Structure 1
């Protein structure tokens, strides 16, 4: 509502004592809001809002995901086939391993190409996450959310979101270098940095960290559901990769027929991940909106306005 005063995000929000419906405990929170799950409403209404967001926005979200997430994944998959080191490891008569000729040069080219592609496509992916968030929030508020306007918004926020994504990825990677568990913990604790940056445009890492630890079990459970879908997509992609290796061999790009087949399977594996990208997009936005409701009155219209 224009002119209304709202608590600063992150401020404590008092909960009156006594029995009653959760909507009564949190004045200013509409229990029927299409995006904001009221505090303590539970996982069922959270899931219902996620599925409702997908029903409202799949016509806009699907092309965004295909262009900005699936297409880069498919290209990287094909580049992996093209630049994978060739040759098989041999052994000397005494059993010592012998690397194929030019192995280290091929490995350097392989990882150089993949790293360069990841950095370049990361900017496109950031634009897609921003565009999808804009669609989810605008549609929940009942406002127009055309595909062209979504991409324009996404491009306007892409560089900043890409930079924060690189920083978060670095933190997760550093944590994983010490042990897998710290890296996994960092991935969960910082999962909401994207929505925080887009809606608040300040301190995304610190805010995401505090949100996670302020309501540890709740945020962990929501994020775990999203990551479980991503893990399932990763497993499917690995299965497709295994099938490709079994059918077309370890060097499929040496012959036209096997190259076409392996490329088609790489693209197919990327397409299989589309539902996971959609779930990630919607699940994190709804989770962020729910956490904002714990901090003060908020609704879909206010969140849509915050995107600018």
Structure 2
């Protein structure tokens, strides 16, 4: 434990650093004061989940899980790999008929679906941010108010998300490591847009440069949890689809089973979406605290 670190939010602080003396509320449920350590950050993440899970789960179910299920089903509908395998078995020396057209159509469906469902997901990220922040400020929140805010902010957040995704994709194409750096450098860009609505790319990158170790640690913990859960969900989905063969949507009975398997696996991904939302938001609030005194009420007011 660092000097002056509290074992949990609200515990008295001792030692050389006193957050209250520097304009911070040590018991603020969202903002982790500078110098109190990883335990206080984690406690605020857990506190946000405890306060908001009844609203956050339906928000994430509608805006994250359902789009993920829809995209997986679309991918299966247009997946030409089963026919390709059959044709390659018959003649392994020639490409399957209409290979280029089928591949292009499959990619267009997946890309187009990702773009459309990405807009829906941005509604959820904005709505979830609104819930967590306003609850931390002690304000009353409702599901309707959350979705109303999410709809107002979704289009702008979606546009910036497309830019973030393009930057990271180009980075991963350039020997992978630039993509990893871009992912960390842009980790705070979404919250920056929602709270500050200006220069999300530059602001997020400056936060990384100014507090490299702290931000890397918080984002790595959040990202590690999301990746681990995502791998587990992919394995469960693959195992669930195995009994239905290479063309699970070809018949009604296998189609129903396949959709249920995909839906069940997607539901297991709810904790990953929750961890991403809460982990990045609490990290952003901590980064703001390193720039000057801030509290949950101020952040709630900035959301508008």
TM-score for the superposition, normalised by structure 1: 0.89
Matched, 1:141 2:149: no
Please give the root-mean-square deviation of Cα atoms over the aligned residues, in Å.
1.6
How far 1:245 moved relative to its partner?
Answer: 4.5
Alignment match, 1:109: 105
Q: What pairs with 1:87-98 in structure 2 (closer than 5 Å)? A: 87=83, 88=85, 90=88, 97-98=93-94
Q: Provide the secondary structure at the position in 2 that maps to 1:252.
A: coil
Alignment match, 1:73: 68
Alignment match, 2:221: 225
Q: Distance in 1 between matches of 2:142 and 2:230?
A: 31
Q: What pairs with 1:1-308 in structure 2 (closer than 5 Å)? A: 20-23=16-19, 27-85=22-80, 86-87=82-83, 88=85, 90=88, 97-308=93-304
Structure 1 residues 251-272: Cα deviation after superposition (integer angstroms, max 9, x where no partner):
2122222222211111112111
Q: Distance in 2 between matches of 1:204 and 1:260?
A: 43
Q: Provide the secondary structure at the position in 2 that maps to 1:145.
A: coil
TM-score for the superposition, normalised by structure 2: 0.90
Q: Distance in 1 between matches of 2:234 and 2:275?
A: 19
How far 1:212 moved relative to its partner?
Answer: 1.1
Counterparts in 2 of 1:210 and 1:74: CA distance versus 1, 3 Å:
same
Runs (5+) with no aligned partner, structure 1:
1-18
- How many residue pairs get matched? 287
How far 1:91 moved relative to its partner?
Answer: 6.2
Q: Distance in 1 between matches of 2:65 and 2:170?
A: 27
Runs (5+) with no aligned partner, structure 2:
1-14
Do the aligned partners of 1:134 and 1:153 also contact (CA within 8 Å) in 2? Answer: yes
> Which structure has more RCO (C-alpha within 8 Å, separation ≥ 6)?
1
Counterparts in 2 of 1:97 and 1:182: CA distance versus 1, 3 Å:
farther
Q: Which moved more, 1:233-242 or 1:60-69?
A: 233-242
Q: Distance in 2 between matches of 1:63 and 1:215?
A: 34
Q: Provide the secondary structure at the position in 2 that maps to 1:182.
A: helix
How far 1:67 moved relative to its partner?
Answer: 0.6
Do the aligned partners of 2:186 and 2:201 also contact (CA within 8 Å) in 1? Answer: yes
